Structure 1
Amino acid sequence: MDLSYWELKNWFTNVDYTIVGSGIVGLHAALRLRERFPAAKILVLEKGALPQGASTKNAGFACFGSLSEILEDLNTHSEEDVVQLIEKRWQGLQLLRKRLGDTAIDFKPHGGYELFLKEDERVFNEAVMRLPFINEILKPIFKSDVFAKEVDRFGFENIHEYLIFNPFEAQIDTGNMMQELLKQAVAADILILNQQNVTGYADLGNQVEIALGDFSFKSQKIFFATNGFANALTKGEVQPARAQVLITEPIKNLDIKGTFHLDRGYYYFRNIGDRILLGGGRNLDFEAENTTEFGQTKIVQNKLEDLLKNVILPNQDFQIAHRWSGIMGIGNSKKPVVSQLSENVFCGVRLGGMGVAIGSLIGTELADLI
């Protein structure tokens, strides 16, 4: 970097807190630090022109897990851990709404639905059978039943006639959410620098030296909020998971409204006005999708189009308007990693594909580690 005296003075001198990653977690951490330390110099570094990862690339689901997802989690986590995780996701959603406001994020409480393909007989039967049990263990959080069986009224095909409805789910506008977060960060005198790739760091005991290529500066503390890109940082506790997404052109007389889950959460879709956004499919090739590379693959895109044609929009013409991908952070456990790595180094990562729900809370918890 060929920096001037002014640039060094204003951005890279006497830095108290440096946050790596300007997504949901990073900006909430920055805002929480500002609340706690009004006079601190807070710097956010972002390697992309826009927030990388999934914060501006997700589907805009304000959700905390479909019924079949929760049942699958109970196979690998204790009941206490699963309930605790759902409670954190729910708290995170309330925190997000409180900080940004429902109008700013275009919060639409249409409810959520889970579909079951006809061939998924076993998954459907288990979901229906264990629905009362899941409602019971979630009642202390929601004070009423979360899941209920409803007849499909949307005209989907090749699925069971019953859907599982969840009145507590909603849609948000991901772009509006991130713009509002960025506005609040700038208003709080938080410095944000884009296209700054942290290539290394060293905890010196009383401060941290942070390398940006061939340039380095010092900060009192550093916080990593890099989620799917945190593999090396956490010694393998976080693995990247690519999510591929597409959106249709406007569809005349579209009668689908809400957030929808399919195949244990591996597929998800929603309306955005009179368009359908559909994503998922990493279970078709886990190895290929455990990557930090953005892009699309034929196997996933073909499956998404097949679902549109044969399940979601049968007997309707549609055109694909746009395709993209995002990088999530997953691991053997769905419990986020919020930890102190050394004297002055901290991280808040592994959001398990639930960044919209839990990101605000993890960012707050990350800032509260000091």
Structure 2
Amino acid sequence: MNLSYWELKNWFTNVDYTVVGSGIVGLHAALRLRERFPNSKILVLEKGMLPHGASTKNAGFACFGSISEIVDDLKSHSEEDVIQLIKKRWEGLQLLRKRLGDTIIDFKPYGGFELFLKEDEGGYNDCIRKLPFINEILKPLFKSDVFAKKIDRFGFASIQEYLVFNPFEAQIDTGDMMQALLRNAVSENILILNQQTVTAYLDKGNEVQVALVDFTFKTKKLLFATNGFANELTKGAVHPARAQVLITESIQNLVIKGAFHLDKGYYYFRNIGDRILLGGGRNLDFEAENTSEFGQTEIIQKKLEQLLKEVILPNQDFQIEHRWSGIMGVGSSKNPIVSQLSDNVYCGVRLGGMGVAIGSLIGTELADLV
């Protein structure tokens, strides 16, 4: 690579900490490193034009798990694991709000709602039956009941009698959040280079050699915050999970306001002003959606459109304006991985589709490993 003396000196010489990934986790890790090591040289490498996975592509839910998701998690995780995971998500949300401020991220505490389709009578009854138990185990954390039954006031169709309401949920503006984090990082003299892919690294004991596509440099410590792209790094403990999303054009007299969940968190929708954002559906074809390739599939897009027409907006005309996808990091466990891989290499990955909630905390924990 044809680098000048100045480029080598200012960006790639005497690097103390290199963070791979400029999403929520990576930038919080870099900012925490700056707090701990005020005079250090910190470099963030990002392979995309913007954060590549889900940090600028998520739905902007400030949530920590719907009741059906929590009930489902209790089937594969211990009660203590589930409580601790919700605690981490809740603490992460408070850390994000404290760092950036509610006004900056357009935090709107509209609450969250879960709806259950008519055909999901078994899942609905199970959640309603277990609602008092879930409230009981979460009360030490939230100091009051989290979930309550509510009559539908939004005009949904083909759903069970009650919605389950959660007053602690909110929505944020994902783009505003990431711009604010990037501004914070730059103001703290953290160097950020985009469109740089780490192809290999070698921990030499006293430093790490980092290979980019056509350039190699040295850093004292290397931190990976690559979430859905951490499969090889974690020897298969994390695999990518694509999330497909669409957004409508403006809808006249839209009454839907809040964060909404459906089917164990596999579907989610919210208002953005007078539009509806709807995403999910990877449970229709897990094999195809366990991919790091961006894009849409017919089976999922048709299902999202069907939900809009038949359940969410049954009596309203709407047009879909835009579609996109993001890449999450999931695994057999929903517990994030924050670990030291070798003497000078660390990772904070596997956010389980809860990056907005847990990303700030995982970034901080990652930096505190150093």
User: What TM bracket, shorter-length normalisation?
Assistant: over 0.9
Q: How many residues align?
A: 370
Residue 9 of structure 1 aligns to a residue whose secondary structure is helix
**How many angstroms apart in 2 are the aligned matches of 1:289 and 1:203?**
33
Partner of 1:328: 328
Partner of 2:142: 142
Residue 50 of structure 1 aligns to a residue whose secondary structure is coil
Partner deviation per Cα, 1:269-327 (whole Å, 9 max, x = no partner): 00000000000000000000000000000000000000000000002110000000000
Residue 105 of structure 1 aligns to a residue whose secondary structure is coil
Partner of 2:176: 176
Write the letter of the residue equivalent to 2:27: L
4+ residue segments displaced more than 2 Å: none
Residue 277 of structure 1 aligns to a residue whose secondary structure is strand
Partner deviation per Cα, 1:151-206 (whole Å, 9 max, x = no partner): 11100000012000000000000000000000000000000000000000000000
Give the deviation of 1:265 after TM superposition. 0.5
Partner of 1:54: 54
**How many angstroms apart in 2 are the aligned matches of 1:2 and 1:286?**
43
Partner of 1:37: 37
Does residue 1:356 correspond to 2:350, yes or no? no
Write the letter of the residue equivalent to 1:279: G
Partner of 1:266: 266
Q: Which runs of 5+ in 2 are unaligned?
A: none
**How many angstroms apart in 2 are the aligned matches of 1:25 and 1:327?**
14
Does residue 1:305 correspond to 2:302, yes or no? no
After superposition, residues 199-278 of structure 1 pair within 5 angstroms as: 199-278=199-278
Partner deviation per Cα, 1:38-83 (whole Å, 9 max, x = no partner): 0000000000000000000000000000000000000000000000
Write the letter of the residue equivalent to 1:352: G
Question: Cα RMSD (Å) of the superposition?
Answer: 0.4
Residue 232 of structure 1 aligns to a residue whose secondary structure is coil
Write the letter of the residue equivalent to 2:56: T
**How many angstroms apart in 1 are the aligned matches of 2:82 and 2:171?**
23
Write the letter of the residue equivalent to 1:52: H
Give the deviation of 1:214 after TM superposition. 2.7
**How many angstroms apart in 2 are the aligned matches of 1:55 and 1:295?**
16
**How many angstroms apart in 2 are the aligned matches of 1:212 and 1:56?**
23
After superposition, residues 31-110 of structure 1 pair within 5 angstroms as: 31-110=31-110
After superposition, residues 108-147 of structure 1 pair within 5 angstroms as: 108-147=108-147
Q: Percent identity?
A: 80
State the TM-score, normalizing by the size of structure 1: 1.00
Does residue 1:23 correspond to 2:23, yes or no? yes
Partner deviation per Cα, 1:95-154 (whole Å, 9 max, x = no partner): 000000000000000000000000000100000000000000000000000000011110
Write the letter of the residue equivalent to 1:262: L
Does residue 1:12 correspond to 2:9, yes or no? no
Give the deviation of 1:213 after TM superposition. 1.5
Does residue 1:159 correspond to 2:159, yes or no? yes
**How many angstroms apart in 2 are the aligned matches of 1:81 and 1:301?**
34
Write the letter of the residue equivalent to 2:320: I
**How many angstroms apart in 2 are the aligned matches of 1:254 and 1:3?**
54
Residue 75 of structure 1 aligns to a residue whose secondary structure is helix
Does residue 1:285 correspond to 2:285, yes or no? yes
**How many angstroms apart in 1 are the aligned matches of 2:179 and 2:213?**
28
Residue 102 of structure 1 aligns to a residue whose secondary structure is coil
Give the deviation of 1:2 after TM superposition. 1.2
Residue 369 of structure 2 aligns to a residue whose secondary structure is coil
Residue 136 of structure 2 aligns to a residue whose secondary structure is helix
Residue 13 of structure 1 aligns to a residue whose secondary structure is coil
Residue 265 of structure 1 aligns to a residue whose secondary structure is coil
Residue 247 of structure 2 aligns to a residue whose secondary structure is strand
State the TM-score, normalizing by the size of structure 2: 1.00
Write the letter of the residue equivalent to 2:85: L
Write the letter of the residue equivalent to 1:196: Q
Write the letter of the residue equivalent to 1:114: E
Write the letter of the residue equivalent to 1:48: G
**How many angstroms apart in 2 are the aligned matches of 1:244 and 1:3?**
39
Write the letter of the residue equivalent to 1:295: G
**How many angstroms apart in 1 are the aligned matches of 2:3 and 2:49?**
19
**How many angstroms apart in 1 are the aligned matches of 2:213 and 2:300?**
36
Residue 163 of structure 1 aligns to a residue whose secondary structure is strand
Give the deviation of 1:215 after TM superposition. 1.1
**How many angstroms apart in 2 are the aligned matches of 1:364 and 1:290?**
27
**How many angstroms apart in 1 are the aligned matches of 2:212 and 2:4?**
16
Residue 217 of structure 2 aligns to a residue whose secondary structure is strand
Residue 176 of structure 2 aligns to a residue whose secondary structure is helix
